[in-house]
Chain A
Amino acid sequence: EIVLTQSPVTLSLSPGERATLSCRASQSVSSYLAWYQQKPGQAPRLLIYDASNRATGIPARLSGSGSGTDFTLTISSLEPEDFGVYYCQQRGNWPLTFGGGTKVEIK
Chain B
Amino acid sequence: EVQLVESGGGLVQPGGSLRLSCVASGFTFNNYAMSWVRQAPGKGLEWVSVIRRSGGGTYYADSVRGRFTISRDDSKNTVYLQMNSLRAEDTALYYCTKTKYGGNWDDYFDYWGQGTLVTVSS
Which A residues contact B (CB, under 8 angstroms)?
Answer: 32, 34, 36, 42-46, 49, 55-56, 87, 89, 91-92, 94-101
Contact residues of A: prevailing secondary structure? loop
Which B residues contact A (CB, under 8 angstroms)?
Answer: 44-47, 50, 59, 61-62, 95, 100, 105-110, 112-115
Kindly report which residue of chain B lies nearest to residue A49, judged by CB atoms.
Answer: B108
Given contacts A89-B45, A98-B45, contact A45 B112 (CB under 8 A): yes
Kindly report which residue of chain A lies nearest to residue B111, judged by CB atoms.
Answer: A46
Q: Across the interface, which residues of A come within 8 angstroms of B109, CB to CB? A: 36, 44, 46, 89
Q: Across the interface, which residues of A come within 8 angstroms of B45, CB to CB? A: 36, 44, 87, 89, 98, 101
Given contacts A95-B61, A95-B62, contact A46 B44 (CB under 8 A): no
Give bound CA distance, A66 to B50, whole Å.
27
